[in-house]
Amino acid sequence: MLARRVRAMGMYQPPTIPFINVGPPSNATTYLVLLLLGLNIFYLLFNIRYEFELVFVFADRASLLFVANLPWLYILAAKNQPIKLLTGYSYENTNILHRRLGEWMCLLALLHGAGILVAWYLFFGPNGMSLWDFLTRRIIILGIAAFVCYELLFVTSLASFRRWWYEVFLGAHILLQAAGLALVYFHHRGGRVYTLVALAIFLVDRLVFRLAMKTRFFRADLTVMEDGKTVLVSTDWPKKARWSSIRSALTGIDVKHGWQPSEHVFLSVPALARKHLVQAHPFTIASAAPEGDQQHAWFSLIIRAHDGFSSDLLRYARSHASADIRLDGPYGSMHALEMLRSSDIALLVVGGSGIAVAYPILWTLLHENDAETVRSRRKVGLIWTVHEASHLEWIGHERLDELRKKGLQVCIPAPTSNAGRPDIGTLAQKMLEDMSAKQDADGGRVGVVVSGPDGMNSDVRNRCARLAWQGWDIQVAVEKYGW
């Protein structure tokens, strides 16, 4: 019981912070971030003499810690990273550590700059060097330029900025980090080893893995769905045989070899505009993953138009039935699927196009080789909220009916355009209680996967935390990713 309450505390996600309107992550993630921050603070302050005249020592320590963190910053951001090989968690799981570490490094850069200015005031100014002479020295100019690059990286990486100007964020992130690395390299020779390691990580991830090994080109059909605001991108190809398990683990596979349920790809459609030649946007693969002995792969993406790339794609699809596309991937982890496979009760709660996450997982759970044995033990449920009734056509009633025949329990509340947002936490708890009552044995392990807007994700996570506090053996996974 104690272990489940500890898990419940880690599962809980605190409410949105007032004024800045930002929701913190789950407590477990916060604990991990604080551990990373605490380790950095230890190295920053260890054996430091707190004397004003020695402020330059503190400034140098901050700069050393900044460059020492650079390789870790790039490792945590890389789409192909050794962390997945060691832990099973993909880049989308470590992305929050990448962001928090980047914010900490921006603070380190600020502390370094402030310390250097204090050093000028204490030592160089009294000896006749004016502030202008100090600031126009080559080493200082390079440092200021690097500082500006990384502070701009911080501003353009804020959640609100990404939400409103996502494509600007994409371009700025590439250009500013490249400029920042170069400026740090020339700023001081002590940081050159770290910048070269960070650059090597970036180039290997981008050029070797992503461009050379995982990027493939296809001709795809473009279909505007019934709601007029969603595009179905579909194509197919003869599936290649998979590499050996060792090579696949080390280098990954490209989509021509198949994919796993809930994995995603980065999509580019160069025909839309020149800027889309270098842009890639992440989307969950909405079609069922091909089985091992399957000779052909059928691939589809469900893309709901908002603005930017998705809006351009919708306009293009209205006048073109097909387009050449570039796919980079697949990416993602098997954590959610493996959690549900080991559960007696499996529930997926999705909103809108989150069905692209749920359908491949449901198809796999209900079509496993030992389905008859599994189905007699495991209960599988789906809660799918849609804005309009026409959104059900994204996967079609036929596919839903097929899954129902396999034993899926489905709850689709009234469209939110008419009925408003449902109490998704209560719906999830009621379905879990209903499936639990149908279990032959008391209780059982429960797995919940949620994919939708932040509010939905938080509501379901916290309802699961409440059930865990009450003694349920329950786990929850939020399927969410970004660039």
Model pLDDT for residues 290-340, shown as the tens digit of each residue? 887 788 999 999 999 888 899 999 999 999 999 999 999 899 888 899 999
Amino acid at 392: L
Please choose, from the candidates 350, 330, 248, 348, the residue with its C-alpha nearest in 3D space to the C-alpha of residue 289: 330
Domain match, 368 and 316 both? no
Q: Is a pLDDT exceeding 70 seen at residue 45? A: yes
Domain match, 348 and 297 both? no
Amino acid at 200: A
* 62 within 8 A of 44, measured Cβ to Cβ: yes
What confidence score (pLDDT) does residue 278 get?
84
Q: Is a pLDDT exceeding 90 seen at residue 40? A: yes
Report the C-alpha gap between 164 and 48 in whole angstroms: 43
Cβ neighbors of 206 (< 8 A, separation 6 or more) are none
3-class DSSP state for residue 226?
A: coil
Q: Confidence class of residue 447 from pLDDT cuts 50, 70 and 90?
A: very high
In a domain, 249, yes or no: yes
Domain match, 206 and 282 both? no
Q: Is a pLDDT exceeding 50 seen at residue 69? A: yes
Domain match, 193 and 53 both? yes
Lowest mean pLDDT across 65-74, 179-188, 332-341: 332-341
First-to-last alpha carbon distance for the chain, in angstroms, is: 39
In a domain, 82, yes or no: yes
**Strand pairing report for 215-224 and 230-238:** antiparallel
What confidence score (pLDDT) does residue 210 get?
86
Rounded alpha-carbon distances, angstroms, from residue 297 to 209, 247, 268, 461: 22, 21, 20, 34
Domain match, 70 and 165 both? yes
3-class DSSP state for residue 440?
A: coil
Q: Confidence class of residue 172 from pLDDT cuts 50, 70 and 90?
A: very high
Q: Scanning the structure block, which residue is given the tokens 């392990």?
A: 445
What confidence score (pLDDT) does residue 185 get?
96
In a domain, 36, yes or no: no
Report the C-alpha gap between 468 and 473 in whole angstroms: 6
Model pLDDT for residues 88-97, shown as the tens digit of each residue? 778 888 889 9
Report the C-alpha gap between 317 and 228 in whole angstroms: 11
**Strand pairing report for 322-331 and 230-238:** unpaired
Domain match, 240 and 349 both? no
Lowest mean pLDDT across 84-93, 153-162, 420-429: 84-93
| Torsion angles phi and psi, residue 174, rounded to 5 | -70, -50
Domain match, 423 and 354 both? yes
What confidence score (pLDDT) does residue 342 get?
92
What is the overall mean pLDDT for the chain?
89
In a domain, 483, yes or no: no
Element (H, E) at 373: helix 371-377
Please choose, from the candidates 149, 66, 78, the residue with its C-alpha nearest in 3D space to the C-alpha of residue 104: 66
Computed on alpha carbons and rounded to an integer, the radius of gyration of the chain in Å comes to 25
Omega prior to 330 cis, within 30 of 0: yes
Helix axes 91-119, 27-45, angle to 10 degrees: 30
In a domain, 31, yes or no: no
Report the C-alpha gap between 378 and 182 in whole angstroms: 55
Domain match, 148 and 231 both? no
* 27 within 8 A of 11, measured Cβ to Cβ: yes
* 70 within 8 A of 195, measured Cβ to Cβ: yes
Domain match, 201 and 282 both? no
Calculate ∠ Cα 5-9-14, nearest 5°: 150
Question: Would you state the structure tokens that stand for residue 276, as one six-digit string?
Answer: 């889309």
What confidence score (pLDDT) does residue 348 get?
97
Domain match, 269 and 357 both? no
What confidence score (pLDDT) does residue 368 get?
75
In a domain, 166, yes or no: yes
* 47 within 8 A of 39, measured Cβ to Cβ: no
Report the C-alpha gap between 445 and 340 in whole angstroms: 9
* Higher-confidence position of 223 and 370: 223
* Domain limit, last residue, from 192, 211, 230: 211
Domains in the chain: how many in total? 3
Domain match, 91 and 140 both? yes
Domain that holds residue 130: 48-211
Model pLDDT for residues 189-203, shown as the tens digit of each residue? 999 999 999 999 999
Model pLDDT for residues 12-30, shown as the tens digit of each residue? 999 877 766 677 889 999 9
* Domain limit, last residue, from 299, 331, 363: 331
Q: How much of the chain is in helix, strand and coil states, percent to nearest 5? A: 55, 15, 25
CB neighbour class for 282 (10 Å; exposed up to 12, middle 13-18, buried from 19): middle
- Among left, alpha and beta (phi > 0; psi -120 to 50; other), residue 398 is alpha
Please give the share of the chain, as a percent, with pLDDT higher than 70.
94
Report the C-alpha gap between 318 and 342 in whole angstroms: 44
What confidence score (pLDDT) does residue 54 get?
86
In a domain, 456, yes or no: yes
Q: Is a pLDDT exceeding 60 seen at residue 246? A: no
3-class DSSP state for residue 241?
A: coil
* Domain limit, last residue, from 156, 189, 211: 211
Q: Is a pLDDT exceeding 90 seen at residue 276? A: no
Question: What is the CATH classification number for the domain harbouring 313?
Answer: 2.40.30.10
Question: Would you state the structure tokens that stand for residue 195, as one six-digit string?
Answer: 């910048």
- Looking at the DSSP bridge assignments, the partners of residue 475 are 447
Q: Is a pLDDT exceeding 80 seen at residue 242? A: no
What confidence score (pLDDT) does residue 183 get?
97
Please choose, from the candidates 120, 166, 440, the residue with its C-alpha nearest in 3D space to the C-alpha of residue 279: 166
In a domain, 39, yes or no: no
* 296 within 8 A of 239, measured Cβ to Cβ: yes
Q: Confidence class of residue 275 from pLDDT cuts 50, 70 and 90?
A: confident
Question: Residue 108 half-sphere exposure, CB side, CA atoms within 13 Å?
Answer: 23
3-class DSSP state for residue 368?
A: coil
What confidence score (pLDDT) does residue 369 get?
41
Question: What is the CATH classification number for the domain harbouring 453?
Answer: 3.40.50.80
Question: Would you state the structure tokens that stand for residue 373, as one six-digit string?
Answer: 């044995």
What confidence score (pLDDT) does residue 306 get?
84
Domain match, 339 and 419 both? yes
Model pLDDT for residues 372-398, shown as the tens digit of each residue? 555 457 899 999 999 998 888 888 888
